[in-house]
């Protein structure tokens, strides 16, 4: 059977098992005698071995097999999972990940693993030729591609009856019993069906395919098979699958009205598709089409308002509900738990802390908080950098912490939560904090600010200097940090997503970095404002409040215009000066839109606010990408293109 169709499925499932192995191995390192963790590790390793064998990735199977042997010796108490053993096992997982990366690109995933295999075997001299204390899978006694591997294989999302050989002259009822201890009954059922389809045609199952996929059956299920093989061959084929305790094969003799035997006829195999994998690019296309519907909806509302046709209004109400439901469903499909990104960080913290000689306890909260897939992908690298900084710059070495009266073990927390319409991600450490005076001095030395500016800065403003390009407070350059790159990229990336970054620090106590992110960047609520004859949109996630302003309310401090709102002095930016828009000089009352810019608030002066509505964000491309002040455009119902303001960059150059 051609298994290439299962490549994407294999990659996805293999990554999940690798992540599970990484997480479990971290837990095992903390508690080497935890039987449940050891069993979970062995199960995942065994599954990964079966998967790689079924796909004929021989080098991967070899490495999985040796790794499984080592896990088995740990499980049987013959080997202690000390730091040396765990480090080698992590090296094995890293190599397996490299193989999967290669397989994903269409390669065979072949790597020379002989040196690593020897290193694994050296952990115990008797591990080389030993077999795991489990039933020996059938594929180890046969050529790899003679049959799919016993043991686990990829759990397909759309399990279907595979197209098998032409129907033979016999029909069999195959009753399969799965072991009570089996953890993945659905996978076993699929494997049995796959095995039997190689020697005949599977015409039906009891229960149905969908119920087998959802594991809605007890310990038994039945397969109806047409084949020209003997009953013994059918039984042997089904028993090739691991964790099958019994297989009963009975030939079905059907009789016609005269009492004679009826030759079984082949039925058209139908594939029951329960769920499918969708490429993210296709979701982007669907989202773009939904955005076009949102734009058309606005146009229809505008026409409806002008024409006043009752039937049109009634129909438009139904169309509006349908578009809203469609939009919500598409958005829901695109949402993923942040755990898809968070789950890689425990391993990163472990590796860096070992290398730096630090002891760190890393905890994660809010893994179920959801973000749009695009936002989640974009935020991965900034979070990676912030976590590395917390380990490298934040938490001190044990002897330093003890000398300061702190526990030897440092703590880093990664927390995600929903807050109104935003997602908040916090990285908190109990390390040495940030020396703001030192940050200011570094900025002055590098010519990023003047001494006068440094002296006038508040504590909060001084901390934010670490986001200046080229600024680093590290005493030496390491592979983790110290080159003055990264923090500015973090801020740029977060703000490009419509979010903000804020840092709170206490010298000697620790640092908290707070990221505020919109759950999605495709369709957002926005404030439409008028400036002269032009319209602009401002994402509502950036807006704090609005206030009417008279010309007499505008003051000047050090040559810069400001306004005072509830005892707070806010910098004022007149949008018409940015975009060279002509305004009516006789207007004496304006509207100030107060927005968040990083850790501070600023006021944008506009003529008036038109409305608040949902808009579809179309990003700028080509040469327009370099224009500061815009993060995209939207199209109104009348076809008018309205720029969406980028609060983060619009105030960088004063006019």
pLDDT digits (tens, 9 = 90+) for 24-48: 888 888 888 888 888 888 878 887 8
Q: Which of 13, 20, 46, 59 is catalytic?
A: 46
CATH of domain 338-517: 3.30.565.10
Q: What share of the chain in percent tops pLDDT 70?
A: 82
Select the highest-mean-pLDDT range: 127-141, 263-277, 636-650.
636-650
Q: Which of 17, 389, 495, 542 is catalytic?
A: 389
| pLDDT at 142 > cutoff 70 | no
- Give residue 474's pLDDT: 58
| pLDDT at 138 > cutoff 70 | no
| pLDDT at 149 > cutoff 60 | no
| pLDDT at 3 > cutoff 70 | no
Helix or strand run (H / E) with residue 630: strand 630-635
pLDDT digits (tens, 9 = 90+) for 559-614: 888 898 887 888 888 888 888 888 888 887 889 999 876 667 888 999 989 888 87
Binned at pLDDT 50, 70 and 90, residue 275 comes out as low
Closest CA to 195 of 158, 220, 165: 165
Helix or strand run (H / E) with residue 308: none
The span from the CA of 585 to the CA of 603, in Å, is 20
Question: Does the annotation count 68 as an active-site position?
Answer: yes
- Give residue 140's pLDDT: 35
Confirm whether 170-251 and 523-650 share one CATH topology: no
Angle, nearest 10°, between helix axes 345-356 and 7-30? 50
pLDDT digits (tens, 9 = 90+) for 216-229: 888 899 999 988 88
Mean pLDDT in residue range 228-236: 89
Taking the whole predicted model, whether its pTM rises above 0.85 is answered as no
DSSP state of 36: H
Per the structure block, which two tokens stand in for 348? 């990163």
CATH topology of domain 4-146: 1.20.120
- Give residue 1's pLDDT: 40
Binned at pLDDT 50, 70 and 90, residue 143 comes out as very low
Question: Does the annotation count 389 as an active-site position?
Answer: yes
Classified as helix, coil or strand, 188 is helix
pLDDT digits (tens, 9 = 90+) for 418-456: 887 788 999 999 999 998 888 888 888 888 888 888 888
Q: Which of 29, 61, 68, 495 is catalytic?
A: 68
| pLDDT at 161 > cutoff 60 | no
| pLDDT at 174 > cutoff 90 | yes
- Give residue 177's pLDDT: 93
Cross-strand pairs, 359? none
Binned at pLDDT 50, 70 and 90, residue 417 comes out as very high
The span from the CA of 69 to the CA of 129, in Å, is 9
- Give residue 53's pLDDT: 75
Do 244 and 144 form a contact (C-beta atoms < 8 A)? no
Select the highest-mean-pLDDT range: 469-478, 520-529, 552-561.
552-561
Question: Does the annotation count 46 as an active-site position?
Answer: yes
- Give residue 567's pLDDT: 79
pLDDT: is 160 or 554 the higher one?
554
Mean pLDDT in residue range 297-316: 81
Pairing assessment for the beta strands 600-606 and 543-550 based on DSSP bridges: unpaired
Domain definitions of the chain by residue range: 4-146, 170-251, 280-336, 338-517, 523-650
Sheet holding 608-616, edge to edge: 608-616, 523-531, 534-539, 641-645, 630-635
pLDDT: is 465 or 486 the higher one?
465
- Give residue 133's pLDDT: 36
Whether domain 523-650 has CATH 3.40.50.12280: the reply is no
CATH class of 280-336: mainly alpha
End-to-end CA gap in the chain: 69
- Give residue 271's pLDDT: 43
- Give residue 431's pLDDT: 92
pLDDT digits (tens, 9 = 90+) for 489-525: 888 888 778 788 889 999 889 999 999 888 776 777 8
Mean pLDDT score of the chain, rounded to an integer? 79
CATH topology of domain 170-251: Alpha-Beta Plaits (3.30.70)
| pLDDT at 547 > cutoff 80 | yes
Comparing 486-490, 511-515, 528-532, which segment has the lowest mean pLDDT?
Answer: 486-490
Mean pLDDT in residue range 314-341: 84
């Amino acid at each position: 059977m051609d298994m290439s169709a299962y490549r994407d499925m294999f990659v996805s499932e293999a990554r999940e098992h690798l992540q599970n192995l990484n997480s479990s191995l971290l837990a095992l390192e903390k508690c080497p005698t935890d039987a449940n963790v050891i069993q979970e590790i062995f199960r995942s390793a065994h599954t990964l071995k079966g998967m790689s064998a079924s796909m004929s990735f021989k080098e991967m199977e070899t490495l999985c097999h040796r790794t499984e042997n080592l896990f088995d010796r740990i499980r049987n108490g013959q080997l202690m999972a000390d730091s040396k053993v765990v480090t080698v096992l992590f090296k094995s997982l890293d190599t397996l990940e490299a193989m999967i990366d290669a397989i994903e690109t269409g390669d065979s995933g072949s790597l020379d693993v002989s040196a690593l295999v020897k290193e694994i075997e050296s952990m115990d001299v008797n591990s080389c030729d030993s077999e795991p204390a489990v039933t020996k899978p059938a594929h180890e006694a046969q050529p790899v591609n003679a049959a799919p591997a016993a043991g686990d294989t990829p759990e397909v999302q759309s399990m279907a009856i595979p197209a098998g050989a032409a129907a033979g002259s016999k029909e069999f009822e195959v009753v399969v019993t799965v072991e009570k201890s089996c953890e993945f009954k659905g996978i076993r059922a699929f494997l049995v069906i796959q095995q039997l389809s190689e020697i005949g045609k599977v015409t039906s199952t009891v229960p149905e395919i969908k119920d087998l996929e959802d594991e809605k059956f007890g310990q038994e299920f039945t397969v109806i098979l047409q084949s020209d093989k003997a009953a013994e061959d059918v039984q042997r084929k089904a028993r090739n699958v691991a964790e099958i305790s019994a297989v009963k094969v009975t030939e079905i003799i059907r009789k016609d009205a005269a009492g004679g035997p009826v030759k079984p006829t082949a039925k058209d195999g139908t594939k029951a598709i329960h769920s499918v994998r969708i490429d993210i690019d296709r979701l982007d296309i669907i989202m773009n089409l939904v955005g076009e519907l949102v734009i058309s909806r606005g146009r229809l509302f505008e026409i409806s308002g002008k024409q006043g046709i009752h039937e049109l209004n009634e129909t438009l109400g139904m169309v509006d509900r349908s578009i809203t439901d469609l939009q919500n469903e598409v958005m829901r499909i695109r949402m993923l738990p942040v755990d898809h990104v968070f789950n890689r960080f425990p391993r990163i913290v472990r590796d860096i802390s070992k290398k730096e000689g630090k002891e760190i306890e890393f905890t994660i909260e809010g893994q179920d908080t959801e973000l749009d897939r695009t936002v989640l992908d974009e935020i991965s690298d900034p979070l990676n950098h912030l976590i590395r900084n917390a380990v490298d710059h934040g938490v001190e070495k044990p002897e330093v912490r003890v000398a300061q009266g702190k526990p030897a073990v440092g703590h880093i927390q990664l927390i995600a939560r929903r807050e109104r319409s935003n997602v908040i991600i916090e990285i908190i450490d109990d390390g040495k904090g940030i020396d703001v005076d030192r940050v200011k001095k570094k900025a002055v030395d590098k010519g990023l600010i003047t001494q006068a500016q440094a002296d006038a800065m508040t504590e909060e403003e001084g901390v934010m200097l670490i986001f200046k390009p080229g600024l680093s407070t590290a005493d030496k350059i390491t592979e983790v940090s110290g080159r003055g790159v990264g923090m500015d990229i973090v801020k740029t990336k977060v703000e490009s997503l419509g979010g903000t970054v804020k840092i709170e620090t206490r010298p000697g106590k620790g640092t908290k970095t707070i990221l505020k992110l919109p759950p999605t960047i495709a369709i957002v609520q926005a404030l439409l404002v008028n400036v002269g004859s032009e319209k602009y949109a401002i994402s509502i996630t950036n807006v704090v409040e609005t206030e009417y302003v008279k010309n007499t309310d505008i003051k000047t401090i050090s040559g810069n215009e400001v306004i005072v709102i509830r005892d707070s002095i806010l910098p004022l930016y007149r949008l018409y000066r940015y975009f060279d828009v002509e305004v009516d000089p006789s207007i004496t009352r304006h509207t100030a839109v107060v927005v968040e810019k990083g850790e501070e608030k600023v006021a944008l002066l506009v003529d008036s606010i038109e409305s608040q509505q949902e808009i579809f964000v179309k990003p700028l491309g080509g040469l327009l990408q370099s224009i500061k002040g815009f993060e995209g455009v939207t199209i109104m119902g009348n076809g008018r293109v309205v720029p969406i303001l980028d609060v983060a960059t619009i105030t960088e150059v004063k006019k």
